Structure 1
Amino acid sequence: MCQTNLKKVIATLVDRKERRIRTETGRRTKRARKGPKLCSLHEIELTVSELGLGYESDETVSFRYCSGKCIHERHNYDFKARRGRDNGKKDKARNAPCCRPTKFEKKMSFFDNKDRFYTIQNVSARACGCV
């Protein structure tokens, strides 16, 4: 499966799960509204089918993903590189780091609904960073 499709599926699943949790907990507290959280590892429980990788299984797995804000610290190199790259060009997209996995769990194993055993690799994050 293409990495772009996998990212879309994961984002959709995370969004669904977070919406479900928000409706269950009601209004957000003042503490929760304080501001964006920095890049960190999060964990949710999903069925293998909800992962969207094409496996039909009701088995529940612990899925870890990265989410949060990356604070971009600029260095002299960044300023020089931008000046040379832009060189009078406007409307250029700015490159900033994004929160993503830096390490993955090696394997995730499960049984599908027909009792076939599967092991898939590099699905769940183990560590996050701003890349």
Structure 2
Amino acid sequence: TRPREKADERECRLKSLQLRVKDLGLGYDSEETILFKYCSGGCPKARTNHDLTLSLLLKSDIPALIEEKVFSDPCCRPTHYEDVAFLDDSHQWHKVEKLSASICSCVG
């Protein structure tokens, strides 16, 4: 069962960190800690006709695609978010909308 566990760790999933609000980089002075949830892991390559064609076109050095920075592989991203509320050092409540991920999925 060991190899299966390692494969599961690489799949797109929700993870979390306990962080101080002031370390979020949003400009709030608060020593309060929150549970910050984020998405991490890999996604299988898509196999639709669109994805196969785009993959081939990206290898052919078409200038328009290079300039646009087009990516063909899906990535692990939040599809739903949660708001986070906390007290700052002046004892005022703040609510930051869509700060923490709640559901992750392979997007793209």
Partner Cα distance (1:99, 1:87) in 2: 23
How far 1:64 sits from its partner (Å)?
0.4
Equivalent position of 1:117 in the other structure: 93
Aligned in 2, Cα 1:87/1:127: closer, same or farther, shift over 3 Å?
A: closer
Of 67, 84, 88, which residue of structure 1 is paired with 2:40? 67
Query: Separation in 1 of the partners of 2:86 and 2:59?
Result: 53
Letter of the structure 2 residue corresponding to residue 95 of structure 1: S
Task: State the partner residue of 2:19.
Answer: 46
Output the CA distance in 2 between the equivalents of 1:87 and 1:62: 41
Whole-Å separation in 2 of the counterparts to 1:104 and 1:50: 19
Q: Does 1:99 align with 2:87?
A: no
5+ residue gaps, structure 1: 1-29
| Residue 99 (structure 1) shift | 0.8
Read off the aligned partner of 1:123 and give its amino acid letter: L
Give, in whole Å, the separation in 2 of the partners of 1:112 and 1:118.
7
**Percent identity of equivalent pairs:** 36
Aligned length: 99
Note the aligned Cα RMSD (angstroms): 2.7
Shift of 1:94: 4.4
Contact kept in structure 1, 2:54 and 2:72, CA below 8 Å: no
Q: Counting strand residues as a fraction of each chain, which structure ranks higher?
A: 2
Cα distance in 2 for partners of 1:47, 1:61 equals 6
